[in-house]
Amino acid sequence: MAKTPPRGPLSGFPELLPEQRFVEQQVIDTLRRVFELHGFAGIETRAVEPLDQLLRKGDTSKEVYLLRRLHEESAEGHAGLGLHFDLTVPFARYVLENAGKLAFPFRRYQVQKAWRGERPQEGRFREFTQADIDIVGRDSLAFHHDIEVTRVMVDALTRLDFLPAFRLQVNNRKLIQGFYAGLGLGADDTDEVMRLVDKLDKLSVDKVRELLLADAGISAADADRVLELATIRSDDDGFVEQVRALGVEHELLDEGLAELAELVRGCADLVSDRVRVTADLSIARGLDYYTGTVFETRLDGYESMGSICSGGRYDALASDGRTTYPGVGISLGVSRVVVPLLARTGLTASRSVPSVVLVAVVDEEGRPTSSAVADGLRRRDIACEVAPDAAKFGKQIRYAERRGIPFVWFTTTTEDGTVTHEVKDIRSGEQVSADPAAWTPPTDDLRPQVLLKEQQ
Amino acid sequence: MAKTPPRGPLSGFPELLPEQRFVEQQVIDTLRRVFELHGFAGIETRAVEPLDQLLRKGDTSKEVYLLRRLHEESAEGHAGLGLHFDLTVPFARYVLENAGKLAFPFRRYQVQKAWRGERPQEGRFREFTQADIDIVGRDSLAFHHDIEVTRVMVDALTRLDFLPAFRLQVNNRKLIQGFYAGLGLGADDTDEVMRLVDKLDKLSVDKVRELLLADAGISAADADRVLELATIRSDDDGFVEQVRALGVEHELLDEGLAELAELVRGCADLVSDRVRVTADLSIARGLDYYTGTVFETRLDGYESMGSICSGGRYDALASDGRTTYPGVGISLGVSRVVVPLLARTGLTASRSVPSVVLVAVVDEEGRPTSSAVADGLRRRDIACEVAPDAAKFGKQIRYAERRGIPFVWFTTTTEDGTVTHEVKDIRSGEQVSADPAAWTPPTDDLRPQVLLKEQQ
């Protein structure tokens, strides 16, 4: 027998009230607009992937949800299908499947839900919306695209003006791997060392040093060098000198240093009160298969949320055996940013409905007159609704008030057949004559605005 | 062991190329805009629902997908969760869960994916996008909202100007049930008769008559009356006289006739070359729990696709035992319309990328100059991209051509340091001097256009 299903909200599956959803929708619309301005085409991929694709890294930590049809005999999942846990695995498959019909380098954005069965906590959900941009080449992809995707995402985040200031932390896997190779660490050690260094955002330097000796089994001298590298931070290309001062040499290290310096210089003009770009040599992005640039992004004051926007370069985003498709991309956790901000800051919309006008109804016989006024306003792109019943005007005004609709429109016909139109701003109480073919609300009222609660 | 997963496209899970996705996105944007102009607020609900909610009608024909976590011991589904098969069940739950925070009548739209494990066929998918509007009241909801949601959906469909002409078919459950009650049929008979009559779009009148006698066990005289009613069609309120002529009387029949006549009259002004509204007394919407108005919509020339847009009135969309929430709504099958139209008519976008301009690159040292031109264009809302490499101009132009980008921008610096800007319309070959701070493409080029293939 199935367990008793939960009632009410499900932990990890956030749902928003209309005025909160408006904020999320504004975020998504802004992202879309910026991505399109930079020439990225929108696509969507199906929610399901073959299970072996989802697990191909042998990494089951993503807590995949398997699907099974209700009437299916076997409990083994519907032909081995699961819900995607990110948008990168499906995108790689989409590129391979449609390679003959796509023009490379292919630039795409994708805003969709993903699912992970992990334990819910702040900023971590079982169902969440991600916004990804990637540029993927056939056989090769120039490094300047690494700078480009970084700049696009900074452009997008900057336009979300209710976001706190943020810091983009960049690093380069070639730099790390070249440095480790220069120390003489083997390929296996490199992975384990990188995995441990990646814990520096949660554990102390001493604790990580202990683990490097105990778990990775490297020498104390190597561990010191590894940690000296990982604790380098710089807001310009000064990190190059600091790394050089550690005295390690390797061709791959040179390449990584050059790329990272180019990235930091290529973003220097974006730095502002709200945006910092830091070379942070501890960033490694754990076990993910990045091969060059890696990025993370943290919101000031929300560091506990972790990185809201991460990505990097893959030498082989996809490969069909004959052709390899390198890619570089960033993924923004829309739910991860929006849901905690809504909860913590009281971010909301100035009203719970799109309507800027409520058209009042004098009596039910007059409803077609009110509807005609509303249709006329809509033809001029003014969102409105007609009152649900011909209640006293005071009650109709309260209907508008409860929803935050700023204007109520009154159309009355006198006994001699004269029709008069008046519109009331219910915030000021001011009521004026208005022509339904010409009246326009103030631009700021036309669409709901995103507000912090104290601004209301 | 899991079955071998399928490779390549999955039947029933349609995916679109970028230029096709652009068409779908345009459809969704148009729907959103129309719904918002009519005061509907957008919400989203989670993809999963408790299984008993999904199966509460005892109707397992929806072929629900169950979820199970990879590491879960039991194969019985993750706490009894499944993917939603429509947006009505989740919306009803959302209304109950948030009733204290919503203002009623509550008007919402919702554009989301839904999943059904049924056999894929044209216009029937396992994963599909729906666009729903509903108005839901607390305790009561005036009938004029039935007319309103109908008008909103006709407004939305009319603005999708690449859609074929369509016919809205309306009926009323009170009319059918009142007529059957007037004939003296019991409540059980009524359901079975309605289910059989609903087959009139697939079976002949004679065949349905046969089933009415054999399966529903009603008399030949009653079957004749039932079929006389079900074959009435009228483009105005003339159906009232035709029904009256059948001589059946019942209070509920009177109510249904009055409502349906009001609906048809209330939509009369929407009728045009592209839009017909027909009272079609065979429409019953099968086993769904409608209690008054019912709608279906068929595209001319695509009748085999079935109804693309259906809905109706529920006296109890939701109920918590104390309070009942009546609702009226319509659901448009976005995938059901868009995917077959793309396949059959070659509907596509005028280009595969949002960019209207490709900014050429003279040499890699000059890339920042090209990027600055591009940023300037973007600040004036002109989507563009910078060429991926400093190839010969002919090759850069072919890059634009392959994507359908109409303009290529050239910025050159002569030896004396003079910078000149020129823009080429690669369709006409015309190349002119241009000021990056002022040049604007023709309005029709600014965004990709939806085209039929022959228009290209």
Concatenated DSSP letters of A37-102: HTTPEE----SEEEHHHHTTTS--TT-PEEEEETT-S-SS-GGGEEE-SSSHHHHHHHHHHHGGGS
CA distance A291 to chain B (A): 21
Q: In this structure, is residue B368 part of a structural domain? A: yes
pLDDT given for residue A202 in this prediction: 85
Question: With contact defined as beta carbons under 8 Å apart, do B401 and B385 qualify?
Answer: no
What residues contact residue A161 under an 8 Å CB cut-off, 6+ apart?
none
Q: In this structure, is residue A255 part of a structural domain? A: yes
- Tokens of residue A422, six digits: 């008046």
Mark yes or no for CB contact A41/B354 under 8 Å. yes
Provide the CA A78 distance to its chain's centre, in angstroms: 30
Question: Which residues of chain B are within 8 Å of residue A51 when distances are taken between CB atoms?
Answer: 2, 5
Question: With contact defined as beta carbons under 8 Å apart, do A450 and A349 qualify?
Answer: yes
User: Which residue's structure tokens are 């976590």?
Assistant: B69
Region class of A444: left (phi > 0), else alpha (psi between -120 and 50), else beta:
alpha
- Tokens of residue B448, six digits: 């990709």
B291 and B435 part of one domain = no
Is A409 touching B (CB cutoff 8 A)?
no
Q: What is the largest CA-CA distance in chain B?
A: 99
What residues contact residue B126 under an 8 Å CB cut-off, 6+ apart?
B10, B11, B12, B13, B115, B116, B117, B118, B120
Q: In this structure, is residue B63 part of a structural domain? A: yes
The DSSP 8-state label assigned to residue B356 in this structure reads S
B429 and B373 part of one domain = yes
Pick from A42, A94, A352: which is nearest to B41 by CB?
A: A352
> Among candidates B84, B106, B109, which has minimal Cα distance to B96?
B106
pLDDT given for residue A289 in this prediction: 82
Closest residue in chain A to residue B365, using alpha carbons only: A144
pLDDT band at B2 (very low <50, low <70, confident <90, very high): very low
B297 and B370 part of one domain = no
> Among candidates A229, A252, A253, A251, which has minimal Cα distance to A242?
A229
Concatenated DSSP letters of B394-452: HHHHHHHHHHT--EEEEEEE-TTS-EEEEEEETTT--EEE--TTT----HHHHS--EE-
**Does A450 have pLDDT greater than 60?**
yes
pLDDT given for residue B17 in this prediction: 97
> Among candidates B279, B282, B235, which has minimal Cα distance to B260?
B279
Interface with chain A: mutation pick from B61, B101, B353, highest number of A CBs within 10 Å: B353
Region class of B346: left (phi > 0), else alpha (psi between -120 and 50), else beta:
left
CATH classification of the domain holding A385: 3.40.50.800
B228 and B365 part of one domain = no
Q: How many angstroms separate the CA atoms of B15 and A94, rounded?
A: 9
B47 and B147 part of one domain = yes
Q: Say how many C-beta atoms besides its own lie within 10 A of residue A102's C-beta.
A: 20
The DSSP 8-state label assigned to residue B279 in this structure reads E
Question: With contact defined as beta carbons under 8 Å apart, do B153 and A85 qualify?
Answer: no
- Tokens of residue A85, six digits: 């846990």
Interface with chain A: mutation pick from B31, B32, B34, B36, highest number of A CBs within 10 Å: B36
Beta-strand ranges (E) seen in B27-138 are 41-42, 48-50, 65-69, 81-83, 106-115, 127-136
Beta-strand ranges (E) seen in B144-265 are 166-172, 233-234
Concatenated DSSP letters of A323-355: -EEEEEEEEEEHHHHHHHHHHHH--EES-SSS-
- Tokens of residue A444, six digits: 């700021």
- Tokens of residue B289, six digits: 């729990």
Query: Which amino acid is residue B9, in one-letter code?
Result: P
Question: Which residues of chain B are within 8 Å of residue A15 when distances are taken between CB atoms?
Answer: 43-46, 94, 97
Q: In this structure, is residue B4 part of a structural domain? A: no
Beta bridge partners of residue A419, listed in sequence order: A413
Question: Which residues of chain A are within 8 Å of residue B8 when distances are taken between CB atoms?
Answer: 97
Question: Which residues of chain A are within 8 Å of residue B137 when distances are taken between CB atoms?
Answer: 388
Residue pairs between chains A and B whose CB atoms are closer than 8 Å: 245
| Whole-number percent of chain B with pLDDT over 70 | 94
**Does B71 have pLDDT greater than 80?**
no
> Among candidates B446, B152, B68, B72, which has minimal Cα distance to B328?
B152
Question: With contact defined as beta carbons under 8 Å apart, do A252 and A181 qualify?
Answer: yes
Q: In this structure, is residue A450 part of a structural domain? A: yes
> Among candidates A312, A247, A264, A308, which has minimal Cα distance to A286?
A312
Is A86 annotated for ligand binding? yes
- The count of structural domains within chain A is 2
pLDDT given for residue B1 in this prediction: 33
Q: Is A103 helix (H, G, I), strand (E, B) or coil?
A: coil
Please tell me the least confidently modeled range out of A53-62, A426-435, B64-73, B119-128: A53-62
Task: Give Cα separations from B233 to B141, B238, B280 (angstroms).
Answer: 28, 9, 5
Residue stretches of the annotated binding site of B? 86-88, 116, 130, 134, 285, 289-290
pLDDT band at B7 (very low <50, low <70, confident <90, very high): low
Q: In this structure, is residue A389 part of a structural domain? A: yes
- Helices (DSSP H) in B55-186: which residue ranges? 88-98, 144-159, 173-183
Interface with chain B: mutation pick from A51, A111, A353, highest number of B CBs within 10 Å: A353
Is B127 touching A (CB cutoff 8 A)?
yes
> Among candidates A248, A258, A211, which has minimal Cα distance to A228?
A248
Q: How many angstroms separate the CA atoms of A375 and B10, rounded?
A: 44
User: Which residue's structure tokens are 């989507």?
Assistant: B383
**Does B3 have pLDDT greater than 50?**
no
Pick from A8, A22, A77: which is nearest to B2 by CB?
A: A77
Is A289 annotated for ligand binding? yes
Q: Which value does ipTM take for this structure?
A: 0.94
B361 and B343 part of one domain = no
B273 and B381 part of one domain = no
The DSSP 8-state label assigned to residue B61 in this structure reads G
**Does B58 have pLDDT greater than 80?**
no
Closest residue in chain B to residue A374, using alpha carbons only: B38
pLDDT given for residue B80 in this prediction: 86
B219 and B303 part of one domain = yes
Burial class (CB in 10 A: 0-12, 13-18, 19+), B433: exposed
CA distance B213 to chain A (A): 32
Domain end point (choices B348, B378, B405): B348
Mark yes or no for CB contact B42/A21 under 8 Å. yes
Beta-strand ranges (E) seen in A116-256 are 127-136, 166-172, 233-234
Question: With contact defined as beta carbons under 8 Å apart, do B357 and B405 qualify?
Answer: yes
Mean pLDDT of chain B: 92
Q: How many angstroms separate the CA atoms of A207 and A223, rounded?
A: 12
Closest residue in chain A to residue B14, using alpha carbons only: A46
Is B9 touching A (CB cutoff 8 A)?
yes
pLDDT given for residue B344 in this prediction: 87
Per-residue pLDDT tens digits for A59-78: 556 689 999 887 665 544 44
Residue stretches of the annotated binding site of B for L-histidine? 86-88, 116, 130, 134, 285, 289-290
pLDDT given for residue B4 in this prediction: 41
pLDDT given for residue B236 in this prediction: 95
CATH classification of the domain holding B228: 3.30.930.10
Closest residue in chain A to residue B11, using alpha carbons only: A46
Task: Give Cα separations from A29 to A32, A129, A134, B31, B332 (angstroms).
Answer: 5, 13, 18, 15, 22
pLDDT band at A53 (very low <50, low <70, confident <90, very high): confident
- Tokens of residue B260, six digits: 């349906």
Per-residue pLDDT tens digits for A281-292: 999 877 668 999
Question: Which residues of chain B are within 8 Å of residue A47 when distances are taken between CB atoms?
Answer: 47, 113, 115, 127
Please tell me the least confidently modeled range out of A29-38, A316-325, A370-379, B20-29: A316-325
Q: Give residue A399's domain range.
A: 357-455
Q: Is B330 helix (H, G, I), strand (E, B) or coil?
A: strand
Mark yes or no for CB contact A8/B97 under 8 Å. yes
Domain end point (choices B348, B380, B409): B348
Question: Which residues of chain A are within 8 Å of residue B21 when distances are taken between CB atoms?
Answer: 41-44
Is B100 touching A (CB cutoff 8 A)?
no
**Which comes out higher in pLDDT, residue B74 or A221?**
A221
Q: In this structure, is residue A384 part of a structural domain? A: yes
Mark yes or no for CB contact B36/A142 under 8 Å. no
B426 and B444 part of one domain = yes
Helix orientation angle between A173-183 and A220-230, rounded to the nearest 10 degrees? 160
Q: Say how many C-beta atoms besides its own lie within 10 A of residue B218's C-beta.
A: 22
**Does A454 have pLDDT greater than 70?**
no
B275 and B382 part of one domain = no
Mark yes or no for CB contact B18/A41 under 8 Å. yes
Question: Which residues of chain A are within 8 Å of residue B95 when distances are taken between CB atoms?
Answer: none
Report which secondary-structure segment, H or E, holds A5.
none
Per-residue pLDDT tens digits for B357-384: 999 999 999 999 999 999 999 999 999 9
pLDDT given for residue B124 in this prediction: 83
Residues 349-368 in A contacting B (C-alpha not used; CB under 8 Å) = 352-355, 364, 367
Per-residue pLDDT tens digits for A361-392: 999 999 999 999 999 999 999 999 999 999 99
B211 and B344 part of one domain = yes
B342 and B416 part of one domain = no
Provide the CA B160 distance to its chain's centre, in angstroms: 11
User: Which residue's structure tokens are 């869960």?
Assistant: B97
Question: With contact defined as beta carbons under 8 Å apart, do A334 and A128 qualify?
Answer: yes
Q: How many angstroms separate the CA atoms of B110 and A127, rounded?
A: 17
Mean pLDDT of chain A: 91
Q: In this structure, is residue B9 part of a structural domain? A: no
Per-residue pLDDT tens digits for A324-339: 999 999 999 999 999 9
| Whole-number percent of chain A with pLDDT over 70 | 94
Q: Say how many C-beta atoms besides its own lie within 10 A of residue A442's C-beta.
A: 10
Q: How many angstroms separate the CA atoms of A113 and A334, rounded?
A: 10
pLDDT given for residue B278 in this prediction: 97
Per-residue pLDDT tens digits for A199-233: 888 899 999 999 999 998 999 999 999 999 999 99
Please tell me the least confidently modeled range out of A49-58, A104-113, A356-365, A391-400: A49-58
Residues 77-96 in A contacting B (C-alpha not used; CB under 8 Å) = 77-83, 94
Mean pLDDT confidence for B65-80? 68
Indicate the pairing of strand B166-172 with strand B275-280.
parallel
Is A67 annotated for ligand binding? no
Is A45 touching B (CB cutoff 8 A)?
yes
pLDDT given for residue A201 in this prediction: 82
Domain end point (choices A268, A292, A314): A268
Pick from A83, A145, A385: which is nearest to B39 by CB?
A: A385
**Does A50 have pLDDT greater than 70?**
yes
**Does A403 have pLDDT greater than 60?**
yes
Interface with chain B: mutation pick from A4, A13, A15, A143, highest number of B CBs within 10 Å: A15
Q: How many angstroms separate the CA atoms of A285 and A109, rounded?
A: 21
